[in-house]
Amino acid sequence: MNILIVDDHPLFRHALIQAVRYSLPQAQINETAAVNEFYERLENGPEPDLVLLDLNLPGASGFSALVHVRAQYPSLPIIIVSAHEEPSIIQRAIAHGAMGYIPKSAHPSLIGEAIRKVLEGDLWLPPNLPTANMNFDPRAADETALAERIQSLTPQQFRVLMMVAEGLLNKQIAYELDVSEATIKAHVTAIFRKLGVQNRTQAVLAIGALNIEEKKV
């Protein structure tokens, strides 16, 4: 069994590795702290049996990494491991294709239980989750439509979109990806068409809708 842990906090990543080893000593564990390295590992193979994915990753916008990987690798089980414990955020993660959700405050024994459950094809949610509140986030339906548009992007177009969201210009993106500026312009045009937007600002707002922060009232 090959498990990939994606989390940018070294201390928690280490704690997660220890918890997995305790519960599943036979598992082979790989780790990464960077979202781009996460994508590269999946592209270059071999594909892991399961991914433990943090939501707060530099270079990702909330649920964007989950949405992208779910599109490219639809059969890959993903469990979100996050400090966010709000039922609405858990609901949104499941709506975007996560097979489980482990709060970072959960007891280590629950990690093994969650992994086993998900590898059996079942959904795993925190046992103390107030399920009565799981159906009331109006963003989930809107985000599902947006996620479908984002999932239509190629891996390279998705990378370009995330760089646009970070404020990089076409020339800077071309340099980072080692391609011509004309190639980036073509990608940006295709991204606008697939997302149904007219300009960079609208594209940034679209990907920003996948952020996990609660709206301030």
* pLDDT tens, residue by residue, 94-110: 888 899 999 988 888 88
CATH number of the CATH domain containing 103: 3.40.50.2300
- Bridge partners for 30 per DSSP: 4
Taking CB atoms within 8 Å and a gap of at least 24, the contacts of 212-217 are: 212/55, 212/56, 212/62, 212/63, 212/82, 212/84, 212/89, 212/92, 213/62, 214/86, 214/88, 214/89
Looking at the structure, tell me whether residues 81 and 168 fall in a common domain. no
pLDDT for 107 equals: 85
pLDDT for 184 equals: 93
Looking at the structure, tell me whether residues 20 and 109 fall in a common domain. yes
Residue 171 lies in domain: 139-208
CATH number of the CATH domain containing 146: 1.10.10.10
Residue ending a domain, choose from 133, 168, 194: 133
Residue 69: CB atoms within 10 A of its CB come to 23
pLDDT band at 81 (very low <50, low <70, confident <90, very high): very high
- How far is Cα 20 from Cα 24, in angstroms, rounded to an integer? 6
Residue 75 has pLDDT above 80, yes or no: yes
pLDDT for 144 equals: 75
Q: Is 114:77 a contact under the CB 8 Å cutoff?
A: no
Q: Is residue 204 part of a domain?
A: yes
Residue 68: CB atoms within 10 A of its CB come to 24
Looking at the structure, tell me whether residues 110 and 147 fall in a common domain. no
Please tell me the chain's helix, strand, coil percentages from 3-state DSSP, rounded to the nearest 5.
Answer: 50, 10, 35
Count CA atoms closer than 13 A to 162's CA, side-chain side: 25
User: What's the pTM value of the predicted model, to 2 decimals?
Assistant: 0.77
CA 67 to chain centre: 6
What's the structural domain count of the chain?
A: 2
Looking at the structure, tell me whether residues 117 and 39 fall in a common domain. yes
Looking at the structure, tell me whether residues 115 and 149 fall in a common domain. no
pLDDT for 108 equals: 83
Mean pLDDT, rounded, of the chain: 86
Q: Is residue 31 part of a domain?
A: yes
pLDDT band at 188 (very low <50, low <70, confident <90, very high): very high
Residue 135 has pLDDT above 60, yes or no: no
pLDDT for 132 equals: 45
Looking at the structure, tell me whether residues 111 and 80 fall in a common domain. yes
pLDDT band at 171 (very low <50, low <70, confident <90, very high): very high
pLDDT for 217 equals: 29
Count CA atoms closer than 13 A to 134's CA, side-chain side: 12
